[in-house]
Amino acid sequence: MEEALWAELQKAAGKENASRQLIDLVFYSYDASDHFGRPQAAAWATDTEQVSRILKWAHKHGVPVIPRGAGTSLSGMTVPARGGVVLDMSRMNRILALRVPDRLVILEPGVVYTDLQRVLAPKGFFFPPDPASGSVCTIGGNVATNAGGIRGAKYGVTQDYVLGLEVVLADGSIMHTGSKCMKSVSGYELTKLFVGSEGTLGVVTGITLKIAPLPRHTVTASMAFEHLADAGRAVSRIVQAGIVPCVMEILDSICVKILRRQSDLDVPDAEALLLLETDGRTLEEATKEMDRALVLTNECGGGGHLRKARSLEEAASLWQARRALGGIITRLRPSFAVEDVTVPISRVPELESVR
């Protein structure tokens, strides 16, 4: 980067918030994907006005800007493929307001997912999307990628909870979308346009999220199948029956073998494992839903090695192992790449034929 450009960037960001030291450039040259690309400089966001100055500078000189949260992206969208400046949002990490009567929270993008949950839980609320990288990922990253997670079967994805955004556009102008009300139907739906845009439309500097009541009780179970297609049929039958588990996940034989070898869990040697969790305001409600689901899984050949978690700790260990699968596989095979596919629920059993 030319000295004149570097001097202007330092002025826009503040000298203490910009760097072109090799150690920083190398750090920001990769994320959790297998993509690499070294930036020309790095900057740390501190507030909306500073982000606006940086983007005005970049717009003036045609310099790419790559917003970055915790760098847990599996798609390479935080990697600077064409140089430019990585804009680290992690220092904008304040929860600005928690308004329980309005069922919303206002926060900056650098707030870590689990930190938000720790603030919400004592109030009896939570942010339902549950990405696997929840212990380190940021809410800004969740918004940028429209993160979902294992609770998506019942609670949906990030866009279902974003009420409004503060966004700095490419020319440095500041824009506000949405509202702080549960219902807002006037005008264009710009909020959802930005959710999932991966930083390509602007830099999110403020987020208003809808929060949900924290379920008081959960029931967790796993069951083994001799055939992967039977596990898929069980999922389809459960949904058709009107049962809505908060988690419903199939692990194929490859994932099962990895968990058997790399975790302390008592995992059966099966072609497929179906993980189920139901929740409710009462234990009776959660148990009733689980019992209905288990009847259907038995009819589809899933009666083998049925196991119900006996405690919250046992259930948590099961989900922790599931979330760790990606990291375990990557360590075993560094060339491993993650891809998501989506199909109508009724066609889940057919996925077995395209493995």
pLDDT tens profile 22-54: 999 999 999 888 889 999 999 999 999 999 999
CA distance 171 to 233: 51
Residue that the structure tokens 């102008």 belong to: 173
**Cα angle vertex 232, ends 229, 235, to 5°?**
155
CA distance 175 to 177: 7
Q: What single DSSP character describes residue 15?
A: G
The letter for the amino acid at 193 is: L
Q: Which two tokens stand for residue 274?
A: 């179906």
The letter for the amino acid at 188 is: Y
- pLDDT value, residue 306: 80
- pLDDT value, residue 328: 74
pTM of the model: 0.88
Report percent pLDDT > 90 for the chain: 65
More reliable by pLDDT, 213 or 134? 213
- Is residue 304 within a helix (H) or strand (E), and if so which, with residue range? strand 304-308
3-state SS string over 203-254? EEEEEEEECEECCCEEEEEEEEECCHHHHHHHHHHHHHCCCCCCEEEEEEHH
Q: Which domains does the chain have, with CATH numbers?
A: 3-88 (3.30.43.10), 95-213 (3.30.465.10), 217-354 (3.30.70.2190)
CB-CB contact of 50 with 14 (8 Å): yes
Tell whether the torsion through CA atoms of 120, 152, 195 and 31 is positive or negative.
Answer: positive
Q: Which two tokens stand for residue 335?
A: 């060339």
Measured between alpha carbons, how far is residue 117 from residues 121, 146, 272 in Å?
6, 18, 32
- Is residue 176 within a helix (H) or strand (E), and if so which, with residue range? strand 174-178
Residue that the structure tokens 């982000």 belong to: 51
- pLDDT value, residue 318: 77
For residue 150, the Cα-to-chain-centroid distance in whole angstroms is 10
The letter for the amino acid at 3 is: E
pLDDT tens profile 271-317: 998 999 999 999 999 999 999 999 999 999 876 678 888 878 878 77
Q: Are strands 203-210 and 104-107 parallel, antiparallel or unpaired?
A: antiparallel
- Which of these, 246, 75, 51, lies nearest to 144 by C-alpha position? 75
